[in-house]
Structure 1
Amino acid sequence: MAYIIRPFTVDDAPALASLTLAAIRHVGARQYGPAQIAAWASRHPGAERFIARAEGGSEISVAADADDAPVAYALVEPDGHFDMLYCHPDHTRKGLAEQLLADCETKARVMGAPRLYTEASELARPAFERAGYAVLHRRDFEIEHGEETVPIHNYAMEKLLD
């Protein structure tokens, strides 16, 4: 299947919200337990949040299929914080993460960011490492979810731009 990387449009917002939840629930289950998945998904932004982020200066790169339907995306903030990288479960392992990371790196350079940094999940960590990011440390933290406090972790990672 052929994919294109293109800029975010307002019409993409519902699809991005939906594919994020699908990725967390299905792909996330490869490395995280049910309570962790439920807590992570509960923090997921709805469609309106994507619009607000784009209007606030964040760059959102979208991978779209042959029908121009979003199947993956990445969001980088003006200061170089790589906040989101998600791929729909039906489109994983097709090189989309690498393409989106490269596209966002180009955008971050244009924005003048001196570095890119992120908090990568167990699942995203290998893609970031292949793109030249270094692990700074593991981040263990807790998410309040319902009556529970759920322990979870990710990795602080960084790539210096020259």
Structure 2
Amino acid sequence: MAAIWTIGVGSYSEEQVAAWAAFHTEPARFRARALAGALILVAVDDRDRSVAHAVLEPEGHLDQLYCHPDHSRRGLADRLLAAAEQHARERGVVRLYTEASELARPAFERAGYAVTHRRDFTIAYRNRRVPIHNYAMEKSLR
């Protein structure tokens, strides 16, 4: 993912970025998540190419808020989060939650999410465990 490789190095080490990016390379994961009931929100450019996306699971978990670096700082993340929230409200979801990277955290904070705690964990990469972190965040829809 271009966002991870391009912007991620500002907040994470090169090894962390490589491990994180390797974790998100399978298109089949999107199909499986959609079949499991997740809503996949996609923003496209004027040539109908995907430039940003987010995944909203039925119980309110928001995952994979990504925006291509060439299209960042244009409000796409804010619009995806607003669309996800509207969809969740229409379905009676009372709480949205996520695990936000350093990159995505500001967009979630602008949308009214609060950090509940920092999550330190590891990702398997090249026969080792690479330490990385993100932030558990949530927003009440009541």
**Is the pair's TM-score, using the shorter chain for normalization, greater than 0.5?**
yes
Distance in 2, matches of 1:143 and 1:56, equals 24
- Residue from 95, 99, 109 that aligns with 2:75: 95
For the pair 1:36 / 2:16, whether they are aligned, the reply is yes
Alpha-carbon deviations, 1:70-122, whole Å to 9, x = none? Answer: 10011110000001100111111111100000000111112221100000000
**Number of the residue aligned with 1:124:** 104
Query: Post-superposition, which runs of at least 4 consecutive aligned residues in structure 1 deviate over 4 A?
Result: none
Q: Over aligned residues, Cα RMSD in angstroms? A: 1.1
Aligned position for 1:7: none
2:36 corresponds in structure 1 to 56
Q: Which amino acid aligns with 1:108?
A: A
What are the residue-to-residue correspondences of 1:16-31 with 2, within 5 Å?
A: 21-31=1-11
Deviation at 1:50, TM superposition (A): 1.0
Identity of aligned residues (%): 61
- Which runs of 5 or more structure 1 residues have no equivalent in the other structure? 1-20
Unmatched segments (≥5 aa) in structure 2: none
Q: Residue by residue, what CA displacement relative to the aligned partner does 1:99-147 show, whole Å, maximum 9, x if unpaired? A: 0000001111122211000000001000000000000001111112113
When the two structures are superposed, what TM-score results if normalisation uses the length of structure 1? 0.84
- What is the match of residue 108 of structure 1? 88
| TM-score of the pair, normalised by structure 2 | 0.95
Shift of 1:156: 0.3
Q: Distance in 2 between matches of 1:89 and 1:72?
A: 9
What secondary structure, in the 3-state scheme, does the structure 2 residue paired with 1:40 have?
helix
